[in-house]
Chains A and B, each alone.
Chain A
Amino acid sequence: MIEKTVAQLSGSLNRGDISSVELTQAYLDRINRYNSTLNAFVTVCEETALTQAAQADAARADGRTSPLLGIPLAHKDIFCTSGIKTSCGSKMLHNFIAPYDATVVSRLSDAGAVMLGKTNMDEFAMGSSNETSYFGPVKNPWDTDRVPGGSSGGSAAAIAADLCAMATGTDTGGSIRQPAAFCGITGLKPSYGRISRWGMIAFASSLDQAGPICKSAEDAALMLNAMAGLDTKDSTCADVSVEDYTANLTNSVQGLRIGIPRQHFAEGLSPEVEQAVREALGVYEKLGAQLIDIDLPNNHLSVSAYYVVAPAEASANLSRFDGVRYGYRCDNPVDLEDMYKRSRSEGFGDEVKRRIMVGTYALSAGFYDAYYRKAQKIRRLIKQDFNAAFQQVDIIIGPTSPHTAFNLGAKTDPVAMYLEDIYTIAVNLAGLPGMSVPVGLANGLPIGMHLVASDFAESRLLNVAHQFQLNTDWHRLRATGFTEGR
């Protein structure tokens, strides 16, 4: 039961094959059994979950139903949850209990989802391996010596090991898509502004976007239906009407024009990943889609521009952590300056401090034009590349990551880690929707395919991903082990 998709579980709950309380207990049992190995959850809220599950069962008995009613969910620990700890993977917030729910949390709760707990993540979402978490790294269920990817590594590992039915993540440069690829599951980063950022702890405000992490494109559509839409509490949340994202899933891809960016199949891509993605493209060709080579000529500058824009915005956002109103405060400060400096230096980890320093430097007097303004101009070029491509094609497909999951501790050089996101970062700079779906295995490790659509074309993106999943089984593959209760 626990390996089923949201769509399937919803059917089982409606038929009365299982109750939400039973289903929730089954996931809680698996979390208890396997979390010590995987470290995917930082907080488990058993009592809350069982209460919500009982409420869902009562609602269903009353004749109410909706696709997410009674479905067990895990939230990335970046989303504020009223009364339940929200740490953002940091010592700075290790005992922070938010006084309100994030909009994403309240919308999923209103839709009837049951919250099992909060998942581990890179500190303040800064990382591509989940190794910067104050609570220790998450292990990849496919090989526990390897990273799950990051920053939404806990959510991705929890889905891959069937510790929950669906999960939330956030993606600033690839933090939903890359862990989805490494863990062999489905992850969607919607268009910038599609989902409210209110109550989602800010990293880089012009790039951050929440999204679903789940077992199929159909599930991503069901979650997006609940998560998307205008929120007056977030002034950058887009006033664009919300479609029923399941409505176009079954559309044919006959005649679909798929753009294959030459720059995403160039030097640095592992042969196994290239082969799996090309085979997946072959599936689309058989279904009547047309493959068209395209160029994204400024893609190679995306990582450089990102590492100005994201740290600059982070340095401003993280200035709020001053040891005064909430969060960590150092012991025995001698004066105000000492309190600021030691609280921040002791409360933040090395990667977060590095990015604050880079951002502060880029924004400091005399460097604005050379760094921040230059990066914004590159951002324009990258957006123009995508605009030009979407004149020619309906969707862009390539690899999510240059290779499969790497070993824990293998990448100690920050720049090498930054280059992990070479195929995903440009999508955030341009604000476009992107998705990763599993397309194969290499040496027993999952490979992800990256799909990108134009602004607010999530419906198209989900349709194209769903059509692939109707014709292949890669998304149904599970890591071996973790068999108890399956």
Chain B
Amino acid sequence: MAFDKTEVEKVAQLARLHVSDSEVEEVTVRITDILALIDQMQSVNTDAVLPLAHPLDLTQRLREDDVTETNRRDELQLLAPEVEGGLYLVPKVIE
């Protein structure tokens, strides 16, 4: 699978990253190399193998639906770049 500049731009858009014109060439080369490493996986036939998503055979634990957290909104919002009246501010979305 060829990974070219168009793919870089598409993936960067999906990942909400900006790749500048000066970077795009190097990013393409580096990711192509990484994909070549990854493609070594294709050397074995795994048709009969079940995927392993997680190292532990886990069943999700359940708990009573009790309130366990207190409201720390104001404290947590101290970490935000911009807040007003308990709301997170972002650039204008709707005209």
> Is B12 touching A357 in the complex (CB atoms < 8 A)?
yes
> Is A193 touching B56 in the complex (CB atoms < 8 A)?
yes
Residue B25 at the A interface, CB < 8 A?
Answer: no
> Is B30 touching A414 in the complex (CB atoms < 8 A)?
yes
Secondary structure at chain A's binding surface: helix, strand, loop or mixed? helix
Known: A308-B41, A361-B11. A380 touches B49 (CB 8 A): yes
Contact residues, A347-398 vs B (CB, 8 A): 348, 353-354, 356-358, 360-362, 364, 367, 370-371, 373-381, 383
Q: Among the listed B15, B42, B90, which residue makes an inter-chain contact with A336, where contact means beta carbons less than 8 Å apart?
A: B90
> Is A344 touching B41 in the complex (CB atoms < 8 A)?
no
Contact residues, A319-349 vs B (CB, 8 A): 319, 322-326, 329, 333-342, 344-345, 348
Q: Mark B19-50, 1 if CB is under 8 A from A, else 0.
A: 10000000100110111111111111010011
Residue A298 at the B interface, CB < 8 A?
Answer: yes
Q: Mark A293-322, 1 if CB is under 8 A from B, else 0.
A: 000001011011101100000010001001
> Is A339 touching B15 in the complex (CB atoms < 8 A)?
no
Residue A236 at the B interface, CB < 8 A?
Answer: yes
Least Cβ distance of A378 to chain B in Å? 5
Residue A36 at the B interface, CB < 8 A?
Answer: no
Residues of B within 8 A of A340 (CB): 16
Residue A252 at the B interface, CB < 8 A?
Answer: no
Residue A184 at the B interface, CB < 8 A?
Answer: no
Measured in the bound complex, the distance between the Cα atoms of B40 and A375 in whole Å is 11
Residues of A within 8 A of B76 (CB): 99, 325
Residues of B within 8 A of A383 (CB): 52, 55
Measured in the bound complex, the distance between the Cα atoms of B41 and A304 in whole Å is 6
Least Cβ distance of A438 to chain B in Å? 27
> Is B79 touching A376 in the complex (CB atoms < 8 A)?
no
> Is B41 touching A356 in the complex (CB atoms < 8 A)?
no
Residues of A within 8 A of B80 (CB): 324-326
> Is B91 touching A334 in the complex (CB atoms < 8 A)?
yes
Residue B2 at the A interface, CB < 8 A?
Answer: no
> Is B38 touching A304 in the complex (CB atoms < 8 A)?
yes
Residues of A within 8 A of B93 (CB): 335-336
The A/B interface has a contact count, at CB < 8 Å, of: 159
Residue A22 at the B interface, CB < 8 A?
Answer: no
Q: Among the listed B14, B27, B40, B54, which residue makes an inter-chain contact with A304, where contact means beta carbons less than 8 Å apart?
A: B40
Known: A341-B18, A344-B16, A358-B35. A374 touches B58 (CB 8 A): no
Least Cβ distance of B50 to chain A in Å? 6
Known: A356-B17, A364-B11. A339 touches B38 (CB 8 A): no
> Is B15 touching A374 in the complex (CB atoms < 8 A)?
no
Known: A335-B92, A358-B31. A298 touches B44 (CB 8 A): yes
User: Which of A300, A303, A342, A357 has most B Cβ within 10 Å?
Assistant: A357
Residue A27 at the B interface, CB < 8 A?
Answer: no
Residues of A within 8 A of B7 (CB): 361
> Is A357 touching B51 in the complex (CB atoms < 8 A)?
no
Residues of B within 8 A of A371 (CB): 38
Residue A418 at the B interface, CB < 8 A?
Answer: yes
Give me 10 A-to-B residue pairs in the complex whose CB atoms sit less than 8 angstroms apart, sorted by A's number.
A301-B44, A304-B41, A319-B16, A326-B79, A338-B91, A358-B38, A360-B14, A361-B35, A378-B41, A414-B30
Name B residues whose Cβ lies closer than 8 Å to a Cβ of A: 1, 3, 7-8, 11-12, 14-19, 27, 30-31, 33-44, 46, 49-56, 58, 60-61, 63, 72, 75-76, 79-82, 88, 90-93
Name A residues whose Cβ lies closer than 8 Å to a Cβ of B: 96-97, 99, 192-193, 206, 232, 235-236, 238-239, 298, 300-301, 303-305, 307-308, 315, 319, 322-326, 329, 333-342, 344-345, 348, 353-354, 356-358, 360-362, 364, 367, 370-371, 373-381, 383, 413-415, 418, 429-432
